[in-house]
Chains A and B, each alone.
Chain A
Amino acid sequence: MANISKINRRAEKEKQQAAKNRREIVAAGLSRRDMIKMGLLTSAGLLVPMSGLSVRARTSAGRFYDSGSGSGPSSPPTRPFVQPFTRMTVKQPSAVLNPAPTAIPNAAAGEGRTITHQAFNQFAPTRFYEVEQRLANISTHPDLPVQPLWGFDGLVPGPLYVERYGRPVLVRNHNNLPANNGGFGKNFVTTHLHNGHTPAESDGNPCDYFTPGQFYDQHYPNVLAGVNSTHQATGGDIQESMSTLWYHDHMHDFTSQNVYKGLAGMYLLFNDFDTGDETTGFHLPSFGDGVSDDSNFDVPMLFSDHLYDSQTGLLAFDTFNFDGVLGDRFLVNGKVQPVMHVHPRRYRFRWLDAGPSRFYQFFLTDTTNLNQRIKFHQISTDGNLLERPVEVESVRISVAERADVIIDFSKYAGKTLYIENRLEQEDGRGPTGKVLPAGQGNLILKIVVDLPPIADNSVDPATITRFYGLPDKTATPRITRTFNFDRSNGLWTINGRSMDPECQEVRLRISKNSVEHWIVNNSSGGWQHPAHIHFEEFQFLSINGAPPPSTGLVLNGRKDVIRLEHNMQTKTFFRFRDFVGRYPFHCHNVVHEDHAMMLIWEIVDGQGDNITNP
């Protein structure tokens, strides 16, 4: 503890020095050119992250956005790696829902849905769940007070849905949130299943929210894209399979606060190839019972960063920061810096960046040998299996992106490894791009390879030559549209415009079962945007004018988030099909999203429009 307080004192002193330096720069009236010349400012307008100028130059402390005063608070000290890693609770179905679900919204019984299920009869649900959003008093670290969070079923993260293609489900959401928000958060909710091929009325549109006391039935057909269009004979296109999805609140204007407060969880989809059983299909590590050390080798991990109030120890949200909020405490599955014990065998980890605004680049670090470059295999991007596993030594993900990886711990028996984030990020606008040296990033999860040897029937990912093929992307588009992510007059915008808060302004209409090319650009060198489109996956046609590199198979994969880095220009291939209705396209830095960096588009049965700059 003494060591921690010493570090904190040093951090505090550095902050004060940084604040003083910045005040002097301001007082000196230096021009931007002067500052660049003096090496104080990068051409992108960022203060150079040298010690004594940037408050985060040497520490990784988050803070309330102070725009130069450098006096923002840090979380109270928490001892690293003193609590166990926890697996998510597997959601159990209900035998019966009362009242029985109906295609037409059951307003009389208190359902908040306003649109009839469009595929309720075609994909009649055979499995039913009931979940409630409610207040939950949860410990995220033993050195902090119990936190009044909001969780699905009172859990943070929410329960894990384990589903299979071909088995339609219906989830009844009950909003049982209190009026008192404990500092931030809005008790209206709408649950989005992120990258589900879900009919619009069940997608969790930001305006389809429901209020305390109401419920909302969400119908998840769990079908492959193409099921009603290009691949009817095969029940959809197997090449469009998804495996790692997540769900989170999408309340318009309040998504960042509500997700930060705990309203997020994960959703897995298995099929006849990605089976969850390592003795069948692709032979990926088994999911087993989902909970026990000796059976579950397929482990979803939801990463988030928190800032706790230095005086009360309670989770704090910087309500008046519109760039994006960073925390200085790093959580996996709702626990600050936990410890996981593993067997010396292969594991599948499913990594999700649940935001609100931080980007990560995960490495495996052995702190006793920092020069060691530990390799592992990435098998998916945004929940979609790649053409084949790719050997990597790090994975970068921005908010809402996912990466499934296979790590072989048999080579590290008896050792301790850490999942370390080495991507430098100083504020909510995005990472600087600098990758910190090993051991100088954020150690997030401690992995101790001290469980006894155990059978491993999964295959070495290096020997897997093929998962699925990739869908064809040579079809001629009906239209090519351009979307510029920008900022003007203090607002986050897409093509210079803001979100219509009532979701009634449809910026583009798309013909059902048509192909489009979308050019999605970041107009700035000052910030980055994880641009997320609901409902359909895309494939890159080009990034900054060049086709995605053939060696980096990850960028060839199907995705649902375009990680728009500084000044990046992308061209993407989309095929919109199967269902109709309205969906959003938005920045998944959820603070940007809440400040209107979103638009609504619609798939229509008739002819789509010809708007090239929606």
Chain B
Amino acid sequence: MYRTTFAGLLGVVFLFGVTVVSNGQAVQWEQKQVKTPRERLAERSFPNVTLTTHKGKKVKFYDDLLKDKIVLINFMYVRCDGKCPGTTANLVKVQKLLGDRVGKDIFIYSITLKPEEDTPKVLAEYAKAYKVGPGWQFLTGHPKDIELLRQKLGFIDRDPVRDADKSNHIGMLRWGNEPHTLWAGCPALLPPAKIVKEIGLVDWPASDEGALRKDARGGDR
């Protein structure tokens, strides 16, 4: 039961109406329930905007980058004036630890907070400088779309002054498993091995407590 297959999960649609509710409202809701929670989450939180990768390729945020994948997402910008505390360098180590799964079922996305400055060419040079491997894309796009993504993914501060300071949005790493609607986050500067174990929490069910999370529990306790 626990090892539900990925394909099986995709086929699941919630069915209601089996339970009788006194005034018949449940029947109405059954007819309305054409969308799965996964689809509703995508509609609410993952605008399918077009972005450009550091290799110059046009991609759709949901269709091409998230759908059916485990992903790590952070926001960054190249000319950080010394404020960015080495997040990219840390994620390079995470990528190494994740090994060949990056690019296969796990993908890393770094979205620029300064799309006006960070053209695909600038991002390509940045990626090269950090020796970023395949399966990790730096993304830029129309400022309006970038801003929409930032809002929808919650890289924001309610205080408008703090919100305007882009360095306030670089500390968090979001990760999730799109088909399993499992999303959480952690500080982007955690030790790389700990980040890998964190991501293990959204690994495919068959891998639970598997590769990414061995020794995660107990430890020296």
Residues of A that sit less than 8 Å from B by CB = 32, 35, 41, 44-46, 64-69, 73, 114-115, 137, 139, 142-146, 148, 178-184, 186, 188, 207, 209, 211-213, 253-254, 309, 311-314, 316, 319-323, 427, 429, 487-491, 498, 500-504, 526, 582, 594-596
Contacts and interface: CB of A to CB of B under 8 A. Distances in A.
Going nearest first, the 6 A-B pairs with the smallest beta carbon separation are A489-B171, A183-B37, A45-B159, A145-B29, A320-B154, A179-B4
Interface residues of B, number: 70
B219 interface: yes
Contacts of B160: 32, 35, 41, 45
B172 interface: yes
B82 interface: no
Interface stretch (B92-100, B138-146, B178-186): B178-186
Nearest to B183: A319
B170 A502 contact: no
Contacts of A137: 16, 18-19
A426 to B, nearest CB: 9
A75 to B, nearest CB: 13
Interface stretch (B104-112, B123-131, B197-205): B197-205
B40 A312 contact: yes
Contact of A209 (B1, B151, B217): B217
Interface stretch (B50-58, B63-71, B114-122, B161-169): B161-169
A186 B187 contact: no
Contacts of A489: 85, 167-172
A143 to B, nearest CB: 5
Given A144-B29, A178-B1, A491-B172, A316 B197 contact: no
B194 A180 contact: no
Interface of B: 1-4, 9, 12, 14, 16, 18-19, 21-23, 25-26, 29-30, 32-33, 35, 37-38, 40-41, 44-45, 85, 151-163, 167-172, 174, 176, 180-187, 190, 194, 197-198, 201, 205, 208-209, 216-221
Contacts of A65: 154, 156
Given A179-B2, A490-B170, A320 B153 contact: yes
Contacts of A46: 158
Given A146-B16, A526-B159, A595-B172, A320 B183 contact: yes
Contacts of B19: 137, 139, 146
Contacts of B159: 44-45, 526
A582 B221 contact: yes
Nearest to B194: A501
Given A184-B41, A253-B184, 17 more contacts: A41-B160, A137-B16, A145-B29, A146-B19, A183-B40, A183-B41, A212-B2, A309-B40, A311-B35, A312-B32, A313-B29, A314-B33, A320-B174, A321-B154, A427-B158, A504-B220, A596-B186
A489 B189 CA distance: 11
A67 B40 contact: no
Contacts of B172: 322, 489-491, 595
B221 A67 contact: no
Contacts of A68: 151
Contacts of B41: 183-184, 319
Given A45-B162, A139-B19, A183-B40, A253 B30 contact: no
Contact of A146 (B26, B44, B216): B26
B87 to A, nearest CB: 9
